[in-house]
Amino acid sequence: MTDNQKITVTRTIEAPAQSVFNVLTNPAEHVKLDGSGFIRSVDHGDRIQKVGQVFTMNMEGEHMGGEYQTDNHVTGYVDDKLVAWQTAPAGTEPKGWEWMYELDAKGPNETEVTLTYDWSKVTDKELLKKVHFPLVQEHALEESLQKLSELAAS
């Protein structure tokens, strides 16, 4: 579902919520999950364990003129249920866009995962002129959930 300030996709994954959560909370796995093609590698980042952590990713995209880094500030964390972060150019504070994964166990080996890409809190007028949201399209989020499904089930 897409509205003018966020995109939400949902998929049922044949894996326990804990397995899905273990993939999502390991920044080193994010390159394997990325449906956008922007993530190249993790620069630094321990397993996500609490709100307030920051992990840095090496990225590449024409929208930023090539290679760049992002700092991802963890904004939501509930064991086996939720992980979320706001992204910012490395060394800066978040500008208002957020990635959120919500997990709902549907049984011992099935988890409904909802991925939301939300830019509703972006208020920087200069940034809004430069970056045309959504930077990542709905089909890329669906691809990320497909990749998550494959990783969590393995």
Query: Is it the case that residue 2 has pLDDT exceeding 90?
Result: no
pLDDT digits (tens, 9 = 90+) for 93-129: 999 999 999 999 999 999 999 999 999 999 888 878 7
pLDDT digits (tens, 9 = 90+) for 129-144: 777 889 899 999 999 9
CA 23 to chain centre: 12
Residues 14-38: what's their mean pLDDT? Answer: 95
Which domains are seen in the chain, by residue range? 6-153 (3.30.530.20)
> pLDDT at residue 28 above 80?
yes
Q: Taking each helix axis from N to C terminus, what angle separates 17-24 and 138-153, rounded to the nearest 10 degrees?
A: 120
CB atoms < 10 A from the CB of 8, how many? Answer: 16
- Coil, helix or strand at residue 4: coil
Q: Which pLDDT tens digit goes with each residue over 33-91?
A: 998 889 998 998 899 999 999 999 999 977 667 798 999 999 999 999 999 999 998 99
Determine which helix (DSSP H) or strand (DSSP E) holds 20, and give its type and residue range: helix 17-24
β partners of residue 82: 78, 102
Give the sheet arrangement for strand 54-61, strand by strand.
Answer: 6-13, 110-118, 98-107, 82-89, 66-78, 54-61, 39-44
So what's the pLDDT on residue 78?
Answer: 98
CA distance 135 to 23: 23
